[in-house]
Amino acid sequence: MAMSKAHLAKLEAALVRRHGELLEEVRDALEKSENQQYVELIDHAPADIGDQSIGDTLADLSLALIDRHIHEIREIEAARERMKAGKFGTCDDCGEQISVERLLAYPTAQRCVVCQQQHERTYAHEGMPTL
């Protein structure tokens, strides 16, 4: 199914909306990441090693969430750049059209389903520590 202008407009609107949501969530998380959970936890002095550990874990989780949001923001910005360049919806690997259904489900997709499956099989363990 070829991508219509209506589908493209719908996808662009979804990307713009999600981009705004993510920016707001990152801003909020950064404002709160002044280790507020940690401060509240250790305000009840004396803090023991367990309280400090929990505080550190909460701060790490907050930073991991921020990192994940920033990664998604970059994917959205790349998808919008592909739209501007007229390359949106074209598989990076094989050059075929990515199905509209896939793009509606995952607007930042860079590969068709077949190439994505191959990519995941090839790079599934990349970055994973080994013994």
Q: pLDDT at residue 109 above 70? A: yes
Q: What is the pTM (predicted TM-score) of this model?
A: 0.72
- The one-letter code for the residue type at 24 is E
Residue type, 62: S
In tens, the pLDDT along 52-107 reads: 565 566 666 677 888 898 999 999 999 999 999 999 999 999 999 999 999 999 99
Specify whether the CB–CB gap between 112 and 94 falls below 8 A.
yes
Q: What's the confidence (pLDDT) of residue 42?
A: 45
Element at 31 (helix H, strand E): helix 5-32
CATH topology for the 5-123 domain: Four Helix Bundle (Hemerythrin (Met), subunit A) (1.20.120)
Look at residue 63 in the predicted model and tell me its pLDDT: 77
- The reported pLDDT for the residue numbered 4 is 85
**Whether 102 contacts 115, CB under 8 Å:** no
Bigger pLDDT: 18 vs 33 = 18
At 54 the pLDDT is 59
What pLDDT score was predicted for residue 20?
A: 94
Chain segment 22-52, per-residue pLDDT in tens: 989 888 877 776 545 544 544 454 456 665 5
List the one residue out of 102, 110, 115, 105 whose CA is nearest residue 83.
110
Which residues pair with residue 90 across a beta bridge? 97
Q: Using an 8 Å Cβ cutoff, are 52 and 31 in contact? A: no
Contacts of 85 (CB under 8 A, 6+ apart): none
